[in-house]
A and B are shown apart, each in its own frame.
Chain A
């Protein structure tokens, strides 16, 4: 049996100070076991959510080793994959999200930092 991470589900919606102008974020992060990459991805998404989406997000972390059948349903091939179900349109962010935090020069100019988080 491969090592697994505890499933965080809808963890950190601490305050209910939801401003009506802020859209609700529904996020699912798929990882595979407790690889450094998985751990890094979980830490990154938590950090982003706390910093930017405080109070109006819903995050589920799914370990594919524990629930392999979910991979087919959400069309997962690469891990980690973060799916932004809401707000529309649907987005898939592939990778451990380090680039989203770092100001990464490899990202194209027209894709500003954390685009996927912005409401568009």
Chain B
């Protein structure tokens, strides 16, 4: 579903992402973990087509993000770590806008908005201005908009931040359902317990370099993910890539 091949992204002389390669298959929930500034957001933004990269290739369902970004974007959805949405719209106006961009029929958008708004308890707030939303409500709105067009690949940057426990639970269910239906999820998180329970595969990144990736068992072995991550994060050596 997603192939990241030797991705390198520099900010000036600093390499934010350094020769990173990852393959994410359909049906996989893929976790992406690393310390602050490790390069997770840069990688996700590059995949989402928001950030031009210096070298390497990113393919979504076989299509190059660099060569045909529109086709890629039609198949995926991206939720940033801090969802700055249009303050001048109401929740419904925002979702309607997203529906228009993806060409979702009136019937489908009504039923999907109704379904997801109900799940997140946002139904009564959709005619409020987005400016009035809390961080958690904006996050819920961003999630609904991402799920609305049934994307094959969903990219999420710290999706659980700001969500209440019920919404977090619902999101995890929804993530699993996307993968069960043949889609894929690639998300970054600092909540290692969630990653350990939810992810089929996980990648650990440090200073822009991939230091370990694979199935949960391959990455953590007999230790907990937290212990493995802390060991790898503190390791000043080159690290090894699985």
- Specify whether A and B are partners: no
